[in-house]
Amino acid sequence: GNSVTQMEGPVTLSEEAFLTINCTYTATGYPSLFWYVQYPGEGLQLLLKATKADDKGSNKGFEATYRKETTSFHLEKGSVQVSDSAVYFCALSGNQLTFGKGTKLSVIP
């Protein structure tokens, strides 16, 4: 069945540091891939998505590229801010959305 593996957290970075959160997946067919963000006390928000191989999703300075050859969809941001502190979930589509376990990011001033 489908599965998503994310890097374990928590991740703590200083403001303006570079962020990478690794995500790899196992799936049959050609799923779409997503990153969701959950700010404290809130629901999940769709951050970005990619629907086919080599697509790059981007939003709010975050980027992720759909790599079929490595079955990966790593999330990156060049310069994080304190307001980026949240839990980030990688997900893929199939008959349902399958989520990774989430990675908690804390950005300190």
Interface with another protein: number of residues (CB under 8 A): 24
Nearer CB in complex with another protein: 49/77 = 49
Q: Which phi and psi angles does 82 have, rounded to 5°? A: -55, -35
77 binds another protein (CB under 8 A): no
The only residue of 23, 64, 75, 91 in contact with another protein, by rule CB under 8 A: 91
The sheet that has 75-77: what strands, in order across it? Answer: 19-21, 75-77, 62-65, 56-59
Q: Give the footprint of another protein on residues 26-55 (CB under 8 A).
A: 31-32, 34, 36, 38, 42-46, 49, 51
Q: For residue 57, what is the enclosing H or E element?
A: strand 56-59
Amino acid at 13: L
Alpha-carbon span 58 to 79, nearest angstrom: 14
Stretch near another protein under the rule CB under 8 A, chosen from 18-26, 68-76, 77-85, 86-94: 86-94
| Contact of 108 with 14, CB cutoff 8 Å | yes
Q: Contact positions toward another protein, by CB under 8 A?
A: 31-32, 34, 36, 38, 42-46, 49, 51, 87, 89, 91, 93-97, 99, 101-102, 104
